[in-house]
Chains A and B, each alone.
Chain A
Amino acid sequence: MNYPVWDVAFGAGLLIALVAILHVFVSHFAVGGGLFLVVTEHRARRKNDAALLGWLKKHTRFFVLVTVVFGAISGVGIWFTIALISPTATSNLIHAYVWGWAIEWVFFFLEITAALLYLYGWDKLEPRLHLWYGWIYFGAAYLSLVIINGIIAFMLTSGSWTKNHEFWKGFFNPTYFPSLAFRTAIALALAGIYALITASVEKDAGLKARIVRWCAWWIVPSLAVLPPLGWWYIRRIPADVWASARGPMPTATHYAGFAVVLLAVTFVLALLSLLKPGRMHLSFSLLVALVALGAMGSFEFVREAIRKPFVISNYLYANSLYSTQIPGDGGFSVDEVNAAGVLPSAKWASNRDLAGSNLAGVGHEIFRVECESCHTANAYRGLKHYIALRQWDESKIQAMAGGLEFMHNGVMPPFAGTDAERGVLAVYLNTIEPISAEAAVAATDGQTVFDQNCSMCHRVNASDPLFKNLTSDPAAAGEALKDLTALFPLMPDLKLTGPQRTALAEWINAQRSAKGFGNPAQGGK
C-alpha cells in the first residue's frame, strides 16, 4: 500500500512464477552447461574425436542462443517483474544486497563475454586458448550462482539477519549450502538434458549413441544425489516454515508431490534413452526436457509456497507489510496498520469513504492493496472459487478474515486494518460470489459443515485441538460450539445452526472412532 499495486487480471503471482520458472530452467543450464562444454571439449580432443567436436560446436551455438539470449533477458525479466509486483521487497533487497548484485554483475559481464568469445572462437582459436575461454565462462557462471544463491536463500530463511541486518549473516543463512548443492546438482543434470536435444538431431547414429551415453553420465548421477540433497535442504528449513508444505494447504503439498514424481520420471527417461541411444528422436529429448521443466517448476513453486506468508522470511509479508514494527518502516507494519487503518495508511487508494454509498468499491481497494499480490477475484487463486467452495456469506467472510494467519498452517499474513475495514472487504468479496445468509448455513451433514467452517484451520488428526479437546458428549459439544470465541479466543465467531452443530459433533465422534483417536482428555470442552 506504500506503492501502487499492479492489477494483473490473471494473477500477479502467476506472472512471477512464469518468468521465474523459465529463467531458472535456463540459468541453471547456463551454469552446468558451461562445465559440460569444456569437459566434453577436453574429452573429444584427448580422444581425437573430430565428430564429437563438430557436434559440440553446433551445441555451443544452441547453448549461446538459449542462455546468453533467453537466460540474460529472462534474468532482467525477473528484476522487472519483482519490481512491478513486490516493489517493497525489491527496495529492501536492493538496499541490503546491492553489493552482492554488483559482484554478481561483474561475474555476469565476464560470463557473457567469455561465452561469446568461446562461440566465435571455435574456428579461430588454438585449442588451449579456446578451452581457456570455456573455463573462464564456467568459473564466472558458477560464481554468479554462488552469489545469487545467497540472496535467494536469504529470502527463504533470513537467519539472524532480521536481528542484526548484517550482509553476511543473511547471505550465509541456514539454507545457503544445501541450496547451493541442490542447485549445482540440478545444473549438472540440465547440462545433460539440454545436450540430448542437440544430440537427437545428429544424423550419425554412432556419434549420437556416444553423446547420449555421455549425457547420461551427467543426468543420472546428478538426479540420484538430488533426494539426499533435498532432504538436507528441508532439514535446514525451520519446522514452522516447512509445516505449511505438509499441511492441508494445497499448493506446496501438491507441488512437492509433482516435483518428486517428475524427477523420478526424468530419471527413468534418462535411463530409457540408454536402451537405443543411437535412435533417440527429437521428440523424446524434448519430452525429457519438458518433464524436467515441470520438475524444476514444481520445485520453485514449493520454495515460493513454503516461504509464504513472507517474501523475506520473518521480515516482510507477501503483501508488502512488515511483520513487526521497525524503525523506518513508514507505518507499514501490521500493527501500525491495525491501529491506523488500511485506508488512512494506503497511499494508493482512490476510494476511502467508509460512510459512503459505494462500500464494495472501498472493499475492492482494500482487496487490491492487501490481497492482490497473491490473489485475484476470479482467476489465479481466485477468491470467487474459494468462497463458492466454502459457501461463505458476507458475515462469515468478515469473521473468517479475522484469522487469515491461522488458516492452512499459516500461509497467509493476518488481515491488517480495523474491524470496519474488514467488514467492507467482506462486502466487496460478497459481490464477486454472492452467497446468501441462508445458503451459508444450509449444509447439514457433518463433513460439509466441517469443510466449510473448520477445515482451513483444523485437521482431522488426533493432536488437532478440535479432535483432542472437544467433548465427546454430543449434546454438550453442540452447546459448546454455540460460542466459538469462548472455546478459544482466536476462533471466529461463527453462528452455526443447531442442526449444524449437532451434525458436526456427531461427525467428529465418528472420525474419532473410525481413525482411533481415542476420547478427548478429561475435562475436555
Chain B
Amino acid sequence: MMQSNPIPALDPNPLPAPYWVFKLLLIVTFVLHIVAMNFLLGGGVLALTAKWRAKNGGFGGRLFSDVAKKMPVLLPATITLGIAPLLFVQVLYGQFFYTSSIVMAWPWFLVLAMLTAAYYGFYYVSFRSGQHGGKAGGVMLVSVILVFLIGFLFSNNLTLSQTPARWATKYFADPGGWNLNLTEPALIPRFLHFFTAAVAVGGIFLVFVALANWKRDREYARQVLQFGGKAFMYATMAQFVVGLVFLVSLPRGLRMLFMGDSPLAATLLLVGITGGIAAIFVMSGALRNENIRAAALYAPGVLAVTIACMAVMRDLLRDAYLSPYFHAGQFAVATQWSVLPLFLALFVAGVILWLVMMRRYGLLGGKKEIERPQP
C-alpha cells in the first residue's frame, strides 16, 4: 500500500537560478556528453569490426590501434562531460532521478565497477597497441561491451525515472534494489535508437581520423573515410526504422505529440529527420568524390542540427511523461547572484584556457609549439 502520491517532496531550498538556465545547461551538456559517448561506443564498435574484417589483410588492424589509442581519452571525456548533466538533472528532476536510482540501486551502483573495468581495459589495449598480441582485441571487446551495458543501464534508469507509477511495485518487490526497467515497452527501442546513433556518430569519428591522416597517408585515410562514412550512412538509414519503432512504442498520448499534437515537437521531428536525410546525401556525395572537407565538416554540421533537435525532443518527451507530477512552476527561485557571475566568469575563462591548452599542443587546428624529444 503506497500513499496516493509517490513523488518525493522537494527540499526547502529554492532553485539558485531561473528554471530555464538549468534546462539550457542540461540540454547543452547532455549533447556534449552523448557525442563523446558516441565517439567512444561507436568508435569502439567500428574499430572492432574493422579489425575483425581485417583478418585477411587491409587497413583494419591499423585503424583498430589508432582508435584504441584514443579510447583512454574518450572515456574520461564521456565521464567528465557526463558529470555536468548529472548535476543539472538532479537540480531539476532529483525527485524522479533519485527515486528511480534507488529502485534499481545495485545495477546502478555497478555502473561504477563497470566503468572502472572498461577504463583499465582501454588503457591496457592502448599501451599494447604497438605489439600485435591476440589479447588486445578481446580486452577491447570486453570494454566496449561494458560501455554498451552502461548505456543500457542509463536508459533503464531514465525511463524508470519518467514512470513513477512503476516505482512502488518494483521497490517493494526488492527494496535491496535488484531491479531494472525491462517491462517498459519503450526501453529497448529507445536504447537501440541511442546505440544506432552511436554507430553513426562513431562513423563520423572515423571520418575525423581520416582527416587527421589525410596529408600523411592518403591511401590509409581514404580507406578509413570510406569505412567510416559508410558506417554513418547505413546506421542513419537503419535509424529510420529504429526511430519509427521507438515512436510506435511510446504511449499513444505521447506519440501524438510528435505527430502534430505539439507543433514544436512535430516540427523538431520533421527538421531532425530532414537533417538526417540531408546528412546521408552530403556524406554519400563526399564519399563519391573523396571530398574529406565535405565529409568532415558539412556532414557533421548538418548532423549537429539533427542531434540538437533530438536532444530537445528527448527533453520534451520527459516533461510529457512527467506532466501529471511535474511542472516548471513548482520551484521557488532565488538566484544566487553572489555566485552565479563567478561561475560564468570562470566558465568562460576555463573554456579559453582549455582552447589555448589544446592549440598549444597542436590539437584543434593549433600548431604544436617547438617539438623537442626529451630523454
Contact = CB atoms under 8 A, between A and B. Distances in A.
Report whether chain A binds chain B. Answer: yes
28 contacts: A9-B176, A15-B109, A19-B112, A50-B375, A69-B119, A69-B123, A76-B86, A79-B86, A83-B90, A84-B98, A91-B90, A91-B95, A94-B91, A94-B94, A95-B15, A98-B91, A106-B347, A108-B80, A109-B80, A110-B353, A126-B370, A166-B338, A328-B13, A329-B9, A330-B10, A346-B3, A347-B2, A351-B1
Interface string A104-126: 01111110111011000111111
B6 A347 contact: yes
Interface stretch (B100-108, B138-146, B225-233): B100-108
A129 interface: yes
A92 B3 contact: no
Contacts of B86: 76, 79
Contacts of B116: 69-70, 73
A479 to B, nearest CB: 48
Given A3-B98, A65-B123, A83-B101, A98 B16 contact: yes
Contacts of B196: none
Given A326-B12, A330-B10, A7 B176 contact: yes
A6 B177 contact: yes
Given A73-B112, A112-B76, A350 B1 contact: yes
A416 B339 CA distance: 37
A348 interface: yes
Contact of A99 (B16, B109, B176): B16
Nearest to B170: A4
B102 A76 contact: no
Interface stretch (B247-255, B283-291, B320-328, B354-362): B354-362
B353 A94 contact: no
Q: Interface majority SS on B: helix, strand, loop or mixed?
A: helix
Interface residues of A, number: 84
Question: Quick one: which of A116, A125, A167 has the most chain B CB within 10 A?
Answer: A125
Contact of A91 (B94, B361, B369): B94
Contacts of B216: none
Contacts of B347: 102, 106
Contact of B11 (A53, A76, A88, A167): A88
Interface of A: 2-9, 15, 19, 50, 53-54, 65, 68-70, 72-74, 76-77, 79-81, 83-84, 87-88, 90-92, 94-96, 98-103, 105-110, 112-114, 116-117, 121-127, 129-130, 132-133, 136, 165-168, 322, 326-332, 346-352, 368
B277 interface: no
A90 B94 contact: yes
Contacts of B373: 123-124
Nearest to B362: A124
A77 B342 CA distance: 27
B18 to A, nearest CB: 13
B58 interface: no
Contacts of A326: 12
A4 B99 contact: yes
A19 to B, nearest CB: 8
B374 A122 contact: yes
B346 interface: yes
Contacts of A101: 87
Nearest to A92: B11
B79 A73 contact: yes
A421 to B, nearest CB: 16
B98 A91 contact: yes
B16 to A, nearest CB: 6
A72 B115 CA distance: 10
B120 interface: yes
Interface in B1-55: 1-3, 5-6, 8-17
B372 interface: yes
Nearest to A326: B12
A102 B10 contact: no
A97 to B, nearest CB: 8
Given A116-B76, A330-B9, A107 B350 contact: yes
B292 to A, nearest CB: 25
B6 to A, nearest CB: 6
B84 interface: yes
Nearest to A97: B16
A110 B336 contact: no
A3 B102 contact: yes
B73 interface: yes
Given A88-B11, A102-B343, A76 B83 contact: yes
A168 B332 CA distance: 20
A126 B369 CA distance: 8
Contacts of A368: 175
B98 A136 contact: no
